[in-house]
Amino acid sequence: MPGLDEGTPLFVQIAGQLADDIVDGQLAEGTRVPSTNELAAFYRINPATAAKGINMLVDEGVLEKRRGIGMFVAAGAREQLLAARRKLFAEQYVGPLVAEASRLGIDSDTLVSLVKESSVSNGGKTR
Amino acid sequence: MTPTIAVTGLSRRYRGHTALDNISLTVQPGTVTGLLGRNGAGKTTLLRILTGLEFPTAGEVKVFGATPAENDAVLRRMVFVREEQAYPDFRVGHAIRVASWFYPNWSAELAGQLLADFELPLNRRIKRLSRGMRSAVGIVIGLAARAELTLFDEPYAGLDAVARQLFYDRLLADYVEHPRTIVLSTHLIDEVADLLEHVVMLDHGRVALDAPAEEIRGTAMTVSGPASAVDEFVAGGRVWHEQRLASRASVVMPGPFDAAAQARARALHLSLEPLSLQQLLVHASGGAEQEKVCA
């Protein structure tokens, strides 16, 4: 199936992929998101599972239901998702990175310069 | 809401053999339920009783709130596609036409589409079809019937992976447009896992598992890494299965794995990998066997 893994519950993955698209700007605020049925057909999953994923984002205020038309990306959704992800960034990415570096005997200066190098090759900003 | 299927204390015994041993379960309307289990677990016997082809030895069976056996009003609301379904000496087109007379919600349009999808020759005699094509005839009838209760019992003997995927896709697409209650009996668990809303697993004629599919996913994990770290992580918890190789260990543990447990695993450099539904059921049926041995 396209891009889903066994790890996290399916509905969380559906919500995560929609959230990714909103963060990347693929789904702009105010645009309609795919319906439960469209998601079910695309990911080959039970529509109840797809609905659960959508409802998760509705509960978080990222999507809003417009009666009779469908689900839309709420105003301010992108900022909200970005803020939430920045909060989790240290725990989810920096923590494991530092742990693996110390396991390999990479000291923090080397680690910082590696991060800078990688950032440059990814087109990131340097100071 | 009345459950579409309600089974209470159902047993079916043959001479010297118990096919179903005091099982109880319900299937809610509008859901896709997977009826899973090994060969001989009792899946087909259950479906035959639900469709009035066989009688219970004990217990009660209600479909749409009524007893299905010899009850035409109930039986017309369901379609049962059996493994290796036998047909009279019909041509494909004839079999489809006869089915269209029987099922009140029959969709000729869907039948036509499916016949083309599976490339079924309308003029060929069914007994001259390959095994896979015969299975496809059953699938066409089962889907085009659009019955309120659709029961598929391993409907894909001889179908290759491409044709099976076609079946799953068409099933899902039509279910989404025309919601109905579907029970899919299969041992190809990983293929259908994501289509299911609910899972019932039979093992030696008993219900080994009856839960929403979403709850089952991620309920057990394989924890692997250095043996000492695995031992520290397990620390008296339940272990379903254990493997050791030199200084590495890998154990299967039932969940729940909350954020704290996941953080602890990360701190110990352990990898956590959730069991697929199929692997989970292998362990669940193994567990049921052990319980029986102990009892």
Indicate which CATH number applies to the domain containing A45. 1.10.10.10
CB-CB under 8 Å, B273 with A46? no
- Considering only the beta carbons, identify the residue of B31, B173, B213 that sits closest to A41: B173
Hey, are the CB atoms on A41 and B273 less than 8 Å from each other?
no
Q: Do B32 and A46 touch (CB under 8 A)?
A: yes
Same domain, A113 and A85: yes
**Inter-chain touch A7–B173, beta carbons under 8 Å:** no
The mean pLDDT value for B76-90 works out to 89
Number of domains in chain A: 2
Mutate to test the interface with A, among B31, B176, B219 (most CBs of A within 10 A): B176
A70 and A84 together in one domain: no
Beta-bridged to residue B250, according to DSSP, are B224, B243
- Looking at residue B36, its amino acid is L
Q: Which domain holds residue A112?
A: 78-121
* B205 vs B258, more confident: B205
- Same domain as A100, residue A50: no
**A1 within a domain of the structure (yes/no):** no
Residue B172: exposure state from Cβ atoms within 10 A (0-12, 13-18, ≥19): buried
**A31 Cβ neighbours under 8 A, 6+ residues apart:** A72, A73
User: For residue range A56-80, what is the model confidence (pLDDT) as tens digits?
Assistant: 999 999 999 998 888 999 999 999 9
Residue A24 lies in a domain: yes
**A6 → closest Cβ in B168, B213, B274:** B274
Cβ distance B280 to B266 under 8 Å? no
Residues A55 and A17 in one domain: yes
The first and second tokens of residue B280, run together, are: 């989970």
**B32-36 and B181-186 as β-strands: parallel, antiparallel, unpaired?**
parallel
Nearest-angstrom CA–CA distance, A65 and A82: 21
Asked whether residue A17 is assigned to any structural domain, the reply reads yes
Judge: B218–A7 Cβ closer than 8 Å, yes or no: yes
**Domain's final residue, options A75, A96, A113:** A75
Flag whether A127 is in a domain: no
Considering only CB atoms, A41 lies closest to which of B176, B196, B218, namely B176
Query: Which of B177, B194, B267 lies at the smallest CB-CB distance from A45?
Result: B194
Give yes or no: residues A25 and A38 share one domain: yes
In a domain, A4, yes or no: no
Give the predicted TM-score (pTM) of the model: 0.82
- For the cut 60, the answer to whether the pLDDT of residue B150 exceeds it is yes
Where is pLDDT greater, at A45 or B187? Answer: A45
Mutate to test the interface with B, among A42, A46, A102, A104 (most CBs of B within 10 A): A46
Q: Are residues A15 and A59 in the same domain?
A: yes
The verdict on residue A46 lying in a domain is yes
Same domain, A15 and A71: yes
Residues A50 and A94 in one domain: no
Q: Are residues A64 and A87 in the same domain?
A: no
Question: What is the per-residue pLDDT across B19-65, written as a single tens digit (0 to 9) for each?
Answer: 999 999 999 999 999 999 888 899 999 999 999 999 999 999 999 99
pLDDT in tens, B136-148: 999 999 999 999 9
Say if the Cβ atoms of A48 and B218 lie within 8 Å. no
What pLDDT does residue B175 have? 96
Quick one: which H or E segment has residue B233? helix B227-234
Q: Are residues A23 and A69 in the same domain?
A: yes
Residues A102 and A82 in one domain: yes
A11 phi and psi, to 5 degrees?
Answer: -70, -30
CB atoms within 10 A of CB A34: 19
Q: Is there a single domain that holds both residue A14 and residue A69?
A: yes
